[in-house]
Amino acid sequence: MSETLLSVSDVSINKGLRQLLRGVDFTVKSGEIWQLRGGNGVGKTSLLRAMAGLARVEVFGAINRCEDMLYSGHATALKGALSARDNLLSHPSGMGMPTSAEVDEALGRVKLQGYEEAKAGRLSAGQKRRVALARLFLPSGRLWLLDEPFTALDVLGVKILEERFIEHADAGGAVVFTSHQPADLGDRLNLLNLEQFSGE
């Protein structure tokens, strides 16, 4: 049984006077993992933000999605002055309102044991990214919209994340992410090449 978590029908996106994308059409069902691909500036982030309801551009067409969504963008809402644990405990999305124990477990899953008390500002770029991605190991939405989640991750981090995607999809969720790199998700991965919808 698979439900539709996101449907994008005939969506066009304008940025200023330029048409970025035209006639984007696809449906995300539970259990699916989608990668949005395309070169720089093709409109991956714009489309993802539009799907999250955060469009900073003009969007035409219909986007329907479930309320139950997690969005993580380039800006990760991490506060350098707070510890990794406090960052996740007080994440402003208000999602799931995790307990301290849940947060520590999630940090363990992204291999950051021992860093719970560390100020996020002291962590490396890759570690910061992991803290942000630890949200995926906490009670979270069914539909994940992730902008470049693999940025700054090492090989192990990428592997952890890919396994988590599959785990989430198997549990009835769905993932839509943007990335330049080919992801190692085998036949679970649906590719959407945005070049074919390019407005120019």
Partner 1 sequence: MANESSRQASNVSSGLPELNLSQFLWVQTRRHLGLLIASPGEIVNPLLFFLLVVILFPLGLGPDPEQLSLLAPGILWVVALLANLMICMRLFVDDFEDGSLEQLAMAPLPLAVAVVPQLLASWLASGVILSLVSPLFGLMLGFPLAAAPTLVASLLMGTLIMLLVGAIGAALTVGIQRGGILLALLILPLYVPILIAGTRALEEATSQGDPMVALALLGAGVTGGLVLAPVAIAAGLRVSLEL
Q: Where does this chain bind partner 1 (CB under 8 A)?
A: 3-5, 11, 30, 50-56, 58-69, 71, 73-79, 81-82, 86, 89-97, 139-142, 172
N-to-C CA span, the chain: 39
Q: How far is the CB of 36 from partner 1 (least distance, A)?
A: 16
Identify the CA nearest to 103 among candidates 122, 73, 82, 74: 82
Q: Which residue, 12 or 111, is less far from partner 1 as judged by CB?
A: 12
Q: How far is the CB of 156 from partner 1 (least distance, A)?
A: 25
Tell me how far apart the alpha carbons of residues 166 and 51 are, in angstroms, rounded to a whole number: 21
**Which pair of structure tokens corresponds to residue 65?**
């999605």
- Residue that is written with structure tokens 């301290």 in the block: 100
β-pairing, 189-193 with 58-65? Answer: unpaired
Q: How far is the CB of 182 from partner 1 (least distance, A)?
A: 27
Q: Which residue, 120 or 189, is less far from partner 1 as judged by CB?
A: 120
**Which pair of structure tokens corresponds to residue 108?**
């363990």
Tell me how far apart the alpha carbons of residues 118 and 105 are, in angstroms, rounded to a whole number: 15
Q: Which residue, 11 or 183, is less far from partner 1 as judged by CB?
A: 11
Q: Which residue, 76 or 198, is less far from partner 1 as judged by CB?
A: 76
Q: How far is the CB of 12 from partner 1 (least distance, A)?
A: 10
